[in-house]
Amino acid sequence: MPTISIPAHQLPVSHTPDVVVLGGGAAGIAAAIAAARNGVDTLLIEQRGYLGGMGTAALVPAFCPYTDGEKPVIRGIGLELLEKMKQAAGADFMSKYKDWLNWVPIDVETLKRVYDEEVLGSGANILFHTVADQVLLDGDRISGLVISNKSGRSVVQAKLYIDASGDADLAALSGVPFQSGGEQGELQPGTMCYVVTGADQARFEQFLEETGEHKQLVNTVTQAQQNGDLPEGRKRISGMAWITESIVGFNFGHIFGIDGTNAEDLSRAAIEGRKLIDTQIRFLRKYVPGFEHIRLVHSGDQVGIRETRRIEGDYTLVVEDFLAMRTFEDDIARNSYFIDIHLANADSTMTIKHLPKGESHGVPYRCMLPKGKSNLIVAGRAVSSDRPVQGSLRVMPNCFAMGQAAGVAASIANTGGGFREVPIAELQRKLVEQGAWLGEHPGQADEIQPVAAGAVTFEKEC
């Protein structure tokens, strides 16, 4: 690619907070709230004009489970925000989903407002419509972040930096090593989610009862693919969430070969995604009773991305840790969501692995600490893990938990030193005091037995 030199020029220093959080998705929201609540001057930078990440920009229709099937393992700020959305969504929504902690539908516009109120209410500041395009380094420390927005280019200087971009953008700009995708570079596909109105929930549920179909509509999707009314690929609807009795959010189908860190790929995915939605709307009207009169009211601002970079950190969480349900001395969260790696192309299968009901594994603080940087921490789906574990950690409830840990860690590190100097016992104590759940015995690592060779088996589905 040809290059050109740009003359050096002076940039103003526009902000000097204690902590900068880059990215306003689930991890960044929780990180900003946690840091600010613990008395730290915090600035949250987000590229869009609202918070929520994949849950609002990509219209992911529901929150993944907060529980291990028996009890909530994601608590603290993440659970608090879920309950705030349910309360703010109105009496009908609350009465229907009051006791739900798994697969709660997302009321997008309500959630945007809740996020605004909770982040600002914590004392954190928000800077929307802003991207970071350069990092200034001083040895192993970040000394500044160059941002761009309608006001121009400027520098943000902070003591500590939290990368909650989902794609490890800040870490990558800082030179942190990372992996991406599988052994051949394959990445999970994207999905263009959307919301329709005009559905009839009672008629749809009657159809399911009369035919024995599940709401994933396996037989119906297969029939439509055989008839040429749907493209080949996954033979089921990934997710359908009823916001009201007539408004439904869909996570349906895949767009293959998309790298979420590549602007050309994202552009192609947006175009292909809107075209695929039109095909799916026609399918729903034709094949699914209760959807004859639906209309599209909202498609994602961008395609939903499941996987991009994974940093190299002080510890890499691996599938053996997941299968052994391991507990670490430096746990800052627990995870019970299943390994969920979507098919890389239309001819392949999905990889799935569930933990036993009531069980979870620990998420160690070290997997958020990127190699070579002392005042940077990463929270969310880009933490240091192997690919199977990333397929489990990547969901929003887990990102809330990791974000809260990063924000509390920043409040401790703000008194001096970097993130590696944070006393683990103090971090765990504060997290528990502030509502997080770290298992029955935080800080006590398991005597772990290695998983036998060949014992790592997964379920497959189309």
Identify whether residues 144 and 288 lie together within a single domain. Answer: no
Identify whether residues 320 and 460 lie together within a single domain. Answer: yes
Q: What is the pLDDT of residues 213-251, one digit of tens each?
A: 999 999 999 999 999 999 988 788 989 999 999 999 999
Q: Please determine, for residue 455, whether its predicted confidence score (pLDDT) is greater than 70.
A: no
DSSP annotation of 421 reads: G
**Cβ–Cβ under 8 Å, residues 296 and 194:** yes
How far apart, in Å, are the Cα atoms of 421 and each of 57, 160, 181, 367, 405?
35, 13, 31, 15, 15
Residue 3 belongs to some domain of the structure:
no
| Residue 136 dihedral angles phi and psi, to the nearest 5° | -100, 130
Residue 4 belongs to some domain of the structure:
no
Task: Tell me which of 244, 271, 299 is where a domain ends.
Answer: 299
Identify whether residues 231 and 83 lie together within a single domain. Answer: no
Residue 350 belongs to some domain of the structure:
yes
Range of the domain at 148: 12-182+306-462
Residue 177, both tokens: 């090593």
395 vs 381: CA distance, rounded Å: 7
| Residue 460 dihedral angles phi and psi, to the nearest 5° | -125, 145
Identify whether residues 149 and 222 lie together within a single domain. Answer: no
pLDDT at residue 71, rounded to an integer: 98
In the three-class reduction of DSSP (H, G, I as helix; E, B as strand; rest coil), residue 376 is classed as: strand
Task: Tell me which of 266, 299, 332 is where a domain ends.
Answer: 299
Residue 265 belongs to some domain of the structure:
yes
More confident residue, 349 or 224: 224
Q: Do the strands 376-378 and 13-15 form a parallel or antiparallel pair, or are they unpaired? A: unpaired
Give bridge partners of residue 136 from the DSSP assignment. Answer: 144
Which residues make Cβ contacts (< 8 Å) with residue 78, sequence separation at least 6? 26, 30, 66, 396, 397, 400, 401, 404
Q: What is the pLDDT of residues 192-216, one digit of tens each?
A: 999 999 999 999 999 999 999 999 9
Q: Please determine, for residue 448, whether its predicted confidence score (pLDDT) is greater than 90.
A: no
Identify whether residues 444 and 391 lie together within a single domain. Answer: yes
Overall average pLDDT of the 134-150 stretch: 98
Identify whether residues 390 and 432 lie together within a single domain. Answer: yes
Identify whether residues 243 and 295 lie together within a single domain. Answer: yes
Q: What is the pLDDT of residues 398-428, one digit of tens each?
A: 999 999 999 999 999 999 889 999 999 999 9
As a whole-number percent, the residues of the chain with pLDDT over 70 amount to: 95
Identify whether residues 386 and 462 lie together within a single domain. Answer: yes
Identify whether residues 342 and 222 lie together within a single domain. Answer: no
**452 band by pLDDT with thresholds 50, 70 and 90:** very low
Of the candidates 224, 242, 240, the residue with the CA atom closest to the CA atom of residue 232:
224
Identify whether residues 140 and 16 lie together within a single domain. Answer: yes
How far apart, in Å, are the Cα atoms of 240 and each of 237, 280, 297, 362, 407?
7, 13, 15, 30, 33
pTM of the complete model: 0.95
Q: What is the pLDDT of residues 148-162, one digit of tens each?
A: 999 999 999 999 999
Overall average pLDDT of the 30-57 stretch: 98
**Cβ–Cβ under 8 Å, residues 419 and 367:** no
Residue 389 belongs to some domain of the structure:
yes
Task: Tell me which of 243, 278, 299 is where a domain ends.
Answer: 299
CATH number at 57 reads 3.50.50.60
Identify whether residues 333 and 405 lie together within a single domain. Answer: yes
pLDDT at residue 425, rounded to an integer: 97
Residue 46 belongs to some domain of the structure:
yes
Residue 88 belongs to some domain of the structure:
yes
Identify whether residues 366 and 262 lie together within a single domain. Answer: no
pLDDT at residue 33, rounded to an integer: 99
Residue 169 belongs to some domain of the structure:
yes
Q: How many domains does the chain have?
A: 2
Which residues make Cβ contacts (< 8 Å) with residue 429, sequence separation at least 6? none
Residue 85, both tokens: 């959305």
